């Protein structure tokens, strides 16, 4: 499948299939981070569980082939199930209302590192967008590897009606610097930014309740303000959250769960309460910003062709 040559007609058929599938999903959200290990998958998995708790139908697509943790954090073993005619792939369902697919389900050996070039990843992402039988969903959350590489680009360029991106960072200066690139990347490609989450934002000492700023506190919020994007909230470090992820249980669903669950539930409620009018407005704004950037690029190319003269 991945990397196979596809003629023009087959590509058009695939694009139509993707559109049909995506039209049945109300909101499609890309979860990104500039830096690795800042908690993108944690945010994806917990937002998904919180939205399911609120009665929403949610799908999660894990496009991270090199560190696919989504299925593990939902406590499921992933395996690709096809219809008999091979035209559709079925997601796994860790709990009612939640469907999960990882690109890694297509790999036979989970211990083997993946050596796929960009075009193979692009082909695989397109195939998953076209073939996964999500049915009707309220949300599709798409987890991507860190950075602004092939996977987020493939999703943005091939998923019609992408609602927006959520950018996850820690408050640490290096993570913030990288997450600024994710903001610029989203803007340059015309993707509305729903907001920034500052994860691992302080650890409350269990003995004295003092907040220890392991990766700093506040850097993500400052970045969001500086780049004029919404700030969605701070999620503190919590041992129980990490333990729940290792056990594949839903931390946000625990009524007595601590401050990280409270913060993640609040972010999920905020996202769920976003009005369609607001989303249309930020989509129009994002398209305008992209059109202006395209125009500026065109002028620069023109100038370069004319030896630096307009």
Ligand X SMILES: Nc1ncnc2c1ncn2[C@@H]1O[C@H](COP(=O)(O)OP(=O)(O)OP(=O)(O)O)[C@@H](O)[C@H]1O
Query: Which residues bind to ligand X, rule: CB under 6 A?
Result: 33, 36-42, 64, 67, 69, 145-146, 199-200, 235, 237-238, 241-242, 245, 260
Interatomic CA distance for residues 140 and 201, integer angstroms: 26
Between 21 and 265, name the residue whose CB sits nearer to ligand X: 265
Q: How far apart are CA 57 and CA 94, in angstroms?
A: 12
Tell me how far, at minimum, the Cβ of 43 lies from ligand X, in Å. 7
* Identity of the residue, 97 or 145, whose beta carbon is nearer to ligand X in the bound complex: 145
- Cβ contact 196:149 at 8 Å: no
> In whole angstroms, how close is the CB of 274 to ligand X at the nearest point?
23
Pairing of strands 89-90, 211-212: unpaired
**Nearer Cβ to ligand X, position 163 or 170?**
170
Q: Which is nearer to ligand X, 237 or 268 (CB)?
A: 237
Is 99 annotated for ligand binding? Answer: no
Q: Least CB distance from residue 246 to ligand X, whole Å?
A: 7
Give the sign of the dihedral formed by CA 15, CA 18, CA 20, CA 22: negative
**Residue 233 annotated as binding site:** no
* Residue 36 is assigned to a ligand binding site: yes
Instruction: Confirm or deny that 147 is annotated as ligand binding.
Output: no
Q: How far apart are CA 297 and CA 289, in angstroms?
A: 12
Task: Look at the chain and count its residues.
Answer: 310
Give whichever of 194 and 197 is closer to ligand X, judged by the CB atom: 197
Q: Is 34 annotated as a binding residue?
A: yes
Confirm or deny that 37 is annotated as ligand binding.
Answer: yes
Between 131 and 198, CB nearer to ligand X: 198
Least CB distance to ligand X at residue 260 (A): 5
Contact 160, 153 (CB under 8 A): no
Tell which residue, 142, 137, 135, has the closest CA to residue 103. 142
Query: 């999903």: which residue's tokens?
Result: 25
Q: How far is the CB of 144 from ligand X (least distance, A)?
A: 8
Q: Is residue 158 classed as helix, strand or coil in its secondary structure?
A: helix
Q: Name which of 143, 153, 142 is nearest 118 in CA terms.
A: 153
In sequence order, the β-bridge partners of residue 58 are 98, 139
Paired tokens of 89: 């792939």
197 is an annotated ligand-binding site residue: no
Smallest separation, CB 198 to ligand X (Å): 10
Q: Please state the residue numbers annotated as binding site for ATP.
A: 34-41
């Amino acid at each position: 499948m991945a990397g196979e040559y596809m003629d023009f007609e087959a590509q058009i058929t695939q694009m139509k299939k993707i559109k049909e599938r995506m039209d049945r999903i109300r909101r499609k959200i890309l979860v990104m981070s500039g830096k690795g290990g800042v908690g993108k998958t944690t945010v994806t998995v917990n937002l998904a569980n919180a939205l399911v708790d609120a009665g929403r139908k949610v799908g999660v697509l894990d496009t991270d082939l090199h560190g696919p943790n989504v299925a593990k954090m939902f406590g499921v073993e992933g395996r690709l199930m096809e219809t008999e005619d091979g035209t559709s792939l079925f997601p796994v369902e860790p709990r009612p209302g939640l469907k999960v697919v990882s690109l890694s389900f297509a790999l036979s050996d989970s211990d083997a590192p993946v050596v796929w070039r960009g075009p193979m990843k692009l082909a695989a992402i397109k195939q998953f967008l076209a073939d996964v039988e999500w049915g009707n969903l309220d949300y599709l959350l798409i987890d991507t590897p860190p950075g602004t590489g092939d996977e987020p680009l493939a999703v943005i360029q091939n998923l019609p009606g992408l609602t927006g991106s959520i950018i996850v960072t820690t408050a640490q200066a290096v993570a913030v610097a990288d997450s600024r690139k994710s903001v610029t990347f989203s803007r340059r490609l015309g993707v509305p930014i729903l907001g920034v989450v500052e994860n691992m934002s302080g650890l409350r000492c269990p003995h004295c309740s003092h907040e220890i700023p392991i990766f700093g506190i506040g850097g993500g919020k400052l970045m969001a303000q500086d780049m004029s994007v919404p700030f969605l909230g701070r999620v503190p470090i919590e041992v129980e959250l990490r333990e729940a992820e290792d056990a594949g249980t839903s931390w946000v669903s625990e009524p007595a769960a601590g401050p990280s669950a409270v913060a993640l539930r609040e972010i999920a409620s905020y996202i769920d309460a976003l009005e369609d009018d607001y989303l249309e407005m930020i989509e129009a704004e994002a398209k305008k910003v992209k059109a202006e950037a395209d125009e500026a690029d065109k002028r620069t190319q023109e100038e370069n062709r004319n030896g630096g003269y307009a």
